Structure 1
Amino acid sequence: MSRVLVVEDESAIAELISINLRHAGFEVTIAATADQAQFEVDRVLPELVVLDWMLPGQSGLALARQWRGQARTRDLPIIMLTARAEETDKVSGLDAGADDYLTKPFSTNELLARIRAVLRRKAPEALDSLVEVGGLSLDPGTRRVTRDGVEVKLGPTEFRLLHFFMTHPERVHSRSQLLDRVWGDHVFIEERTVDVHVKRLRGALEPALCHRMIETVRGAGYRLTQHVSATAE
């Protein structure tokens, strides 16, 4: 049973969300302030947080940034709720680390659909077994990537990107497909962002001499292949 923390200071909204989530099979905890939310996260790390933007004291936006800056909560899935409908506000919420964004008023069915979508995107990293391609090994459980005893240091996004490439080897993926599968279909990100993270991924793989496994397919996108010389320049 997935644990969801609902951080919402309006008790009627919090209770409505809680009832619907419990009915859908989730275990729910409610917090009305940022301090209470931090206490609950410290007590038991939830699978996902539904986080209201406007909270008494510290804002949900600040709390999301705080969690993204800490190792234990860096990858905690967050769906932000807010009455702010402007695109700039959505971008601010996503930049703060939210995985998705829902504007009030919203339907509980849509919230449930988005929760399931976010959990689906996050789950493979935690549940899948060891993946190996061309001597490169990725362990989602320990978040370690190695090749011939050399450990590759990756940020969270590069880890997700490599995990997707390694579980779909030799296939060409367009930038829009990568955005959908790695970043998530509700995120406002430009396609050139993919190029930036692919460049970072190659740089991280270089010490392990496998950066050339990530190929650019001109006019199409990127693919991971083991049919290249890993030491070639």
Structure 2
Amino acid sequence: MATVLIVEDTLTQAEIITGTLRGAGFTTSVATSSEDAKVKLAQQKPDVIVMDVVLPGESGFELCRELKDSPDTKDIPIVLCSTKSGEMDKFWGMKQGASSYITKPIDPEELIRTVKLLVK
């Protein structure tokens, strides 16, 4: 099954996302910051990245833009997840190169459906 890198600094949210995706048959790994995500990406390329927008240090928006600008990671779909639910936030996330934008609290069915669509 496909692998998903989850970039989430809140332990509870990381556990919810991880549990949801593992329950749907995905292999997951978790990074707690942009820096941690870069280290994990250097070791292994996931099929999809599920990323929080608000992260310590570099934001999810910044990391998304950086990953989309890099030849090594530009083809990896990114799902941004955030409590920022305004239309402008969603628009800005998509403008950074995200494939999808999901608001928190996470709807497990929406998350699974979105990740499955991006893996195919």
| Same-fold status (TM-score > 0.5) | yes
Alignment match, 1:89: 89
> Runs of at least 4 residues of structure 1 off by over 6 A?
none
Alignment match, 1:102: 102
Identity %: 35
Alignment match, 2:54: 54
Residue 75 of structure 1: CA displacement?
Answer: 1.0
Whole-angstrom distance in 1 between the partners of 2:94 and 2:18: 23
Whole-angstrom distance in 2 between the partners of 1:93 and 1:32: 19
Whole-angstrom distance in 2 between the partners of 1:87 and 1:79: 16
Residue 104 of structure 1: CA displacement?
Answer: 0.9
Q: How does 1:2-17 map to 2 (within 5 A)?
A: 2-17=2-17
Alignment match, 1:31: 31
Residue 23 of structure 1: CA displacement?
Answer: 1.5
Structure 1: any 5+ residue segments left out of the alignment?
121-233
| 2:84 partner letter | R
Whole-angstrom distance in 1 between the partners of 2:31 and 2:57: 13
Whole-angstrom distance in 1 between the partners of 2:106 and 2:28: 19
Is the contact between residue 2 and residue 119 of structure 2 (CA under 8 Å) also seen in structure 1? Answer: no
Alignment match, 1:117: 117
Equivalent position SS for 2:72: helix
Residue 22 of structure 1: CA displacement?
Answer: 1.1
RMSD over equivalenced CA pairs, Å: 0.8
Q: How does 1:1-233 map to 2 (within 5 A)?
A: 1-120=1-120
Whole-angstrom distance in 1 between the partners of 2:23 and 2:87: 32
Quick one: higher RCO (CA 8 Å, sep 6+), 1 or 2? Answer: 2
Please give the per-residue CA displacement for 1:18-46, whole angstroms capped at 9, x wherever unaligned.
Answer: 11211211110001100000111110000
Alignment match, 1:158: none
Residue 106 of structure 1: CA displacement?
Answer: 2.3
| 1:36 partner letter | D
Please give the per-residue CA displacement for 1:34-61, whole angstroms capped at 9, x wherever unaligned.
Answer: 0000111110000000000000010010
TM-score w.r.t. the length of structure 1 is: 0.51
| 2:24 partner letter | A
Equivalent position SS for 2:57: coil
Is the contact between residue 5 and residue 49 of structure 2 (CA under 8 Å) also seen in structure 1? Answer: yes
